[in-house]
Amino acid sequence: MRIRPAAIGMAVATALAAIAALLGGQAAAQGEEPVVVAQAESAFTDAQLAEIEALIAAWIAANPGFIRDYLVSNPEVIREAVTELERRRIEAEAVLQAETIAQLEQELLYSPRQSVVGNPDGEITLVEFFDYNCTYCRHALEDMSRLMVDYPDLRIVLKEFPVLGPGSVEAAQVAAALNIVAPEKYWDFHQLLLGSGVAASAQAALDAAARVGVDRGRLEAMLEDAAVIAAIEESYTVADALGLNGTPTYILGTEVIVGAVGYDQLRVRIDSMRECGETSCL
């Protein structure tokens, strides 16, 4: 059987597809979402594709060392394939997260259980998932304060997301209770506890609440209240749907922004939201 030269290229493409599948399997084994690689619409009929596949299979069977030799001689192809695979993974993940944000708009942006600071009627909403024991969240506190001053039309939603142990959960319970009994004191409490540098716990949170003028006994009585538990569970549910597992994480528009990226990065995205309704106007 005479094999057309184009079949060689197809054989290489098949090898790279196999590499992509292998890497996808490795990601799944590590607990990550399987990689979904988009495929371009084929210009061939099913019969033509079947013929091409048969030619490739025959050629590979007749030349078992070709793919290995090609990849050894051109190792940069593997690097390019892995880079492209990662690009497609990130792109697919961003699309899925944007869809999830749209589906959870009410819980994410307008839940009565969440804390809202800044301008409650602001045209732009920035959501932050945080933990009171998160060092990076403490560093990011100044960024949030600056943004509130520099953007009077910014609405900030603070989501209790205690992921760093029992002390974090206790502090989040106190914060959720305070947001119910004295929401006007929440921002002062938040700044005091998060900015203190002490390990967050029920005791530390109750002390901070008392310092901003909220009755300690009233908060203690509410720590196991259904409304308090529901507020924290809602944050967990939304975070899980978005695949979040660390703090701080921000949501702006349809973008998930992971980590304490700093004031400048947030400012650029907010400016873009003002200009075109997206975090990037490119």
Residue 190 and residue 168 share a domain: yes
Nearest-angstrom CA–CA distance, 39 and 45: 15
Q: Are residues 87 and 173 in the same domain?
A: no
pTM: 0.71
Task: Provide the number of structural domains found in the chain.
Answer: 2
| Strand positions, DSSP E, the chain | 115-118, 124-130, 154-160, 249-252, 255-258
Q: Is 246 helix (H, G, I), strand (E, B) or coil?
A: coil
Domain finish residue from 102, 123, 144: 102
Cα–Cα distance between 23 and 19 in angstroms, integer? 6
CATH code, domain with 153: 3.40.30.10
Residue range 165-192, pLDDT digits in tens: 999 999 999 999 999 999 999 999 999 9
Number of residues that this document lists for the chain: 282
Residues 185 and 262 in one domain: yes
Q: Are 119 and 96 members of one domain?
A: no
Among 65, 87, 102, identify where a domain stops: 102
Tell me, yes or no, whether 90 lies in a domain.
yes
Residues 112 and 201 in one domain: yes
Same domain, 128 and 171: yes
Tens digits of residue pLDDT in 238-266: 999 999 999 999 999 999 999 999 999 99
Q: Are residues 54 and 111 in the same domain?
A: no
Paired tokens of 247: 């703090």
* Bridge partners (DSSP) listed for residue 252: 126, 255
**pLDDT per position as a tens digit, 3-49:** 444 444 555 455 445 444 444 444 444 444 444 434 445 567 888 88
Among 102, 126, 143, where does a domain finish?
Answer: 102
Following DSSP, what letter does each residue of 145-214 receive, concatenated? Answer: HHHHHH-TTEEEEEEE---S-HHHHHHHHHHHHHHHH-GGGHHHHHHHHHHS-SPP-HHHHHHHHHHTT-
What sign has the CA pseudo-torsion 57, 62, 68, 72? Answer: negative
> 228, 243, 230: which is closest to 107 by C-alpha?
230
* Domain-embedded: residue 282: no
* 94: confidence class by pLDDT, cuts 50, 70, 90: confident
**Residue 273: closest CA among 127, 166, 57:** 127
